[in-house]
Structure 1
Amino acid sequence: MASKKSILRKIQIIITNHFKTPEDAFDFFDKSGDGKLSKTEIVELLKQAEISGFIRGIVSSKLIEGYDKDGDGYINWKEFKTAVKEINKG
């Protein structure tokens, strides 16, 4: 299975290579336009980042678990920014 570091690196690559800003990436993947990324929307981000289909569901759950600070089951813009900062540090 891919390591956390390699998964985060792939996410960083998709955000930096395909979007001008992290906000553009967030808006692109926020298909519902509700200002939050659902598990389904995060799975799509992982698909674009070429994360194996077998582990996308697990990884999306772990990302929500790790970055959903308000406990609503979604990743909002503020939580996404925090995740991007941590990914960029790694």
Structure 2
Amino acid sequence: MAWTKEKILINIEKLMRSKFSEPREAFDYFDEDKDGNLTKSDFKKLLKEAKVSSLIRGLVAEFMMQSFDANKDGFVSWIEFQEAIKESGIKK
């Protein structure tokens, strides 16, 4: 199976729809240390639950961090996450 951006987004969307009623619930679930920010490790957990191949999970998590982290502080806040979800086309 080829892991395209579209396929990864579809898997993430399926996860969001099946497990969470709204994006904030997903954000809070994946924020393991409950500090209000997502890290690369948190994104890896999200990708694992979205059944993204372990072979590319680290690269995709890094890409997501860089794409979602608007202020480039090394963390993804709820506001950044919300904006990135909106821009990606993932539906809640």
Normalising by structure 1, we get a TM-score of: 0.92
Q: What is the Cα deviation at residue 82 of structure 1?
A: 1.3
Match of residue 86 from structure 1: 87
Runs of 5+ in structure 2 lacking a partner?
none
Match of residue 3 from structure 1: 4
Runs of 5+ in structure 1 lacking a partner?
none
Evaluate the alpha carbon distance shift between residue 87 and residue 16 of structure 1 in structure 2; reply closer, same or farther with a 3 A threshold.
Answer: farther
Structure 2 matches for 1:69-84, cutoff 5 A? 69-84=70-85
Identity %: 37
Evaluate the alpha carbon distance shift between residue 17 and residue 88 of structure 1 in structure 2; reply closer, same or farther with a 3 A threshold.
Answer: farther
Match of residue 45 from structure 1: 46
Match of residue 29 from structure 2: 28
Normalising by structure 2, we get a TM-score of: 0.90
Which shifted more, 56-65 or 7-16? 7-16
The residue type paired with residue 74 of structure 2 is G
Cα root mean square deviation, aligned: 1.5
Match of residue 58 from structure 1: 59
Number of aligned residues = 90
Q: What is the Cα deviation at residue 85 of structure 1?
A: 1.1
Q: Judge conservation of contact 1:14–1:49 (CA < 8 Å) in 2.
A: yes
Q: Judge conservation of contact 2:65–2:74 (CA < 8 Å) in 1.
A: yes
